[in-house]
């Protein structure tokens, strides 16, 4: 069901300045929703979308996160119908050499920040039927990426957190509260320019380091895969359906989006292949 013009659905969306987040903001706006979209730099947020509200939010700054969310919630009249945790970021290089501040940043952006938003949002979402949280994790939560170990681990943390919440929502509700639906949305490779926006290992182009060649080969394989991947609109369409059609959201607890090989073959490999063989397959696919 599409939201009506008199009572549009109100959505809190992180990472709305580019890629999947921007495509989702456009899709939700076109569907008649009001969107509170976040970015660290609000000048990068769209200014041409009907019903779009810009929110400055840095998921790496836990001290301001609650205040920012509460202000957006008040602007929305004390009600969000859905929260979409989409903000992303990456660091590419050997997992054993990721700088501690980069490691912490990965977990704040991809896991700890979204978890804090969920905790802040749930009371509002419980106040009406149909409250929804869509956590945009990654297929890498199940098929970890070489030289993207921190990214994969943080996405896996949010994925498992989502699964725990899904189970908890089967418990009895308190009087006057409603169950919240949680969806784990796992994109495979999506052509968003993500690789160019990442931070990189400082020795990536060091000819004297024997590991650098393998890191560059893996990055080149990822670039080739991204170039042939669906655009961010493919994920945005799924998110928009989940938000605007309660029956669709009710049927989904885990959804993968991407090309057929990754979106179907990847989960099957995770489910049926022995771990050693699964990791070998991912390694070869990543040029190692």
DSSP string, 144-212: PPTT-HHHHHHHHHHHHHHHHHHHHTTSPPPTT----EEEEEEE-S--SSHHHHSEE-TTTT-TT-TTH
- Count of positions (residues) in the chain: 288
| Contact partners, residue 141, CB within 8 Å, separation at least 6 | 152, 155, 156, 158, 159, 186
- Phi, then psi, of 135 in degrees rounded to 5: -100, 115
Beta strands in the chain (DSSP E): 10-13, 34-39, 52-56, 82-85, 91-92, 132-136, 181-187, 199-200, 254-257
Cβ neighbours of 146 (radius 10 Å): 21
Return the active site residues.
Answer: 151
Q: Contact at 8 Å (CB) between 268 and 281?
A: no
Q: Which of 198, 99, 115, 197 is nearest to 154 (CA)?
A: 115
Compute the C-alpha angle 24/45/88, nearest 5°. 60
Q: 53, exposed or middle or buried, with CB in 10 Å at 0-12, 13-18, 19+?
A: middle
Q: How far apart are CA 19 and CA 21, in angstroms?
A: 5
Eight-state DSSP code of residue 264: I
- Return the half-sphere exposure (C-beta side, CA atoms, 13 A cut-off) of residue 177: 14
């Amino acid at each position: 069901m599409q939201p009506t013009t008199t009572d549009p659905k109100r959505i809190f969306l992180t990472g709305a300045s580019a890629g999947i987040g921007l495509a989702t903001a456009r899709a939700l706006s076109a569907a008649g929703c009001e969107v509170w979209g976040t970015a660290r730099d609000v000048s990068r947020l769209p200014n041409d979308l009907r019903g779009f509200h810009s929110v400055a939010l840095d998921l790496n700054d836990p001290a301001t996160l609650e205040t920012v969310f509460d202000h957006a919630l008040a602007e929305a009249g004390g009600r969000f119908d859905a929260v979409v945790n989409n903000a992303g970021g990456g660091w590419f290089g050997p997992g054993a050499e990721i700088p501690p501040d980069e490691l912490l940043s990965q977990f704040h952006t991809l896991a700890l920040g979204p978890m804090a938003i969920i905790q802040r949002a749930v009371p509002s979402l419980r106040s009406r039927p149909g409250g929804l949280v869509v956590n945009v994790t990654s297929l890498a939560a199940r098929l970890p990426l070489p030289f993207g170990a921190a990214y994969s681990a943080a996405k896996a943390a949010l994925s498992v957190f989502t699964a725990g919440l899904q189970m908890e929502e089967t418990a009895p509700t308190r009087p006057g509260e409603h169950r919240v639906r949680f969806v784990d949305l796992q994109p495979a490779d999506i052509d968003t320019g993500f690789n160019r926006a990442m931070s990189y290992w400082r020795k990536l182009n060091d000819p004297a380091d024997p590991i650098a060649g393998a890191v560059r080969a893996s990055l080149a394989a990822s670039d080739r895969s991204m170039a042939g991947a669906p655009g961010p609109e493919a994920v945005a369409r799924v998110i928009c359906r989940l938000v605007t059609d309660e029956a669709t959201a009710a049927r989904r607890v885990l959804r993968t989006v991407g090309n057929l090989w990754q979106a179907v073959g990847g989960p099957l490999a995770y489910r049926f292949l022995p771990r050693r063989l699964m990791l070998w397959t991912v390694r070869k696919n990543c040029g190692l």
